[in-house]
Structure 1
Amino acid sequence: MDYVSEIKRGNKLIFEEVYHKYHNRFYFYVLRNTASDDLAEEVVQMSFVKVWEKRSELSSSFPIEVQIARIARSVLIDILRRKAIERSALDAIKQNADAVIARDPAADKQLVEKVQEAIESLPPQCKKIFILSREGGLTHLQIADHLSVSPKTVENHISKALKVVRKAAALCFIMGL
């Protein structure tokens, strides 16, 4: 069966067959490399979404599993990179907050207030997604399923929210609050 040409033609039944045939293989590959069930599921889901969205760009020169593997590897790297950036930004904010709080006990309350104000200022959907992620502890995929949006939409909203929160926290530090 030539899966690539069928998927390129938009054959959903063949795409579903490919999904069911290769899902576990890529899930366990990512799980083995990350030891995270949530991350493995997110990478696999995003990879298959990309395969479908970019189906017209699939190459007939390579088997579908090779192309899925390349996409999954790329998605995994992107997600790990994004998570590392988020972690380092949050660590930097925490370190700066610890330094400010050590000098001024009232700074903790002011920082929390400014960050809360920043979160409250977010557009409703962005705010809801950010809260589900940070306070609810949900993965991007879980949020996407819960709100019936794409994982990319969730990623974009969280990225936007983090920029707003970081800016508010940075202003606190600059102003010496």
Structure 2
Amino acid sequence: MSADRKDIFKSRFQEHYSRLCCIAYGYVSDQDDAEDIVQELFISVWNKRLDGMPEKEFAAYMTTSVRNSCVSFLRKRRDDTVSIDAYPASASCMPDEGPEEGKPLQDIMESAPDTLPARCREVFLLAKLHGLKYREIAEKLEVSEKTVENQMTKAVKLLRMYVAEHGALLVTVAVIILSIIINCE
């Protein structure tokens, strides 16, 4: 790896990073998400060796790519949310009992995280029970923030499936609220 390539990449990063973060922020309305999108874009550019493009082409490519990445991010966020209308009223249960032959709703809620894979459960509990930020979880578990984000997405999807199988309306509402909280971070 040549020092020239590093210098060119560093120069372009410094020149375009702030502008691209502003563009991303205009789409996603969250500074951390905007920075993550732009950083991942620069990583992709480095890995694909696209940093050697002429300056004009590079600037146009980066502007278009950040817009596309934001649109993909927003689509993913939209797809991760669930509508309360998606669950029929017949699937709801009384507050004191669950659909599983009178199994208390509290038991269903407490057992839901236990159905998650170990790493997924660990990330989910650190985020939601202990209130840690993705960055803090990543440092604690010695993984990337993207891995934490992916594990949280996986946890929410698995919990939604668990809820759908058990049909508990109140658990559904709790998962919806958690997914809103997750998408707002």
Distance 2:69 2:141 in 1: 22
Aligned to 2:182: none
Aligned to 2:179: none
Instruction: State whether structure 2 residue 96 is matched by structure 1 residue 106.
Output: yes
TM (norm. structure 1) is: 0.68
In 2, are the aligned partners of 1:31 and 1:40 still within 8 Å (CA)? yes
Q: How many residues align?
A: 163
SS of residue in 1 equivalent to 2:112: helix
In structure 2, runs of 5+ residues without a counterpart are 172-185
Distance 1:10 1:98 in 2: 64
Aligned to 1:167: 161
Q: How does 1:28-177 map to 2 (within 5 A)?
A: 28-55=22-49, 60=53, 63-87=57-81, 89=82, 91-92=83-84, 96=87, 104-107=94-97, 110-111=104-105, 113-134=107-128, 136=131, 138=133, 143-144=137-138, 147-173=141-167
In 1, are the aligned partners of 2:25 and 2:34 still within 8 Å (CA)? yes
TM (norm. structure 2) is: 0.65
In 1, are the aligned partners of 2:23 and 2:67 still within 8 Å (CA)? no
Question: Which one has a larger percent helix, Structure 1 or Structure 2?
Answer: 1
In 1, are the aligned partners of 2:123 and 2:152 still within 8 Å (CA)? yes
What fraction of aligned residue pairs are identical, expressed as a percent? 26
CA RMSD of aligned residues (A): 3.7
Distance 1:134 1:114 in 2: 17
In structure 1, runs of 5+ residues without a counterpart are 1-5
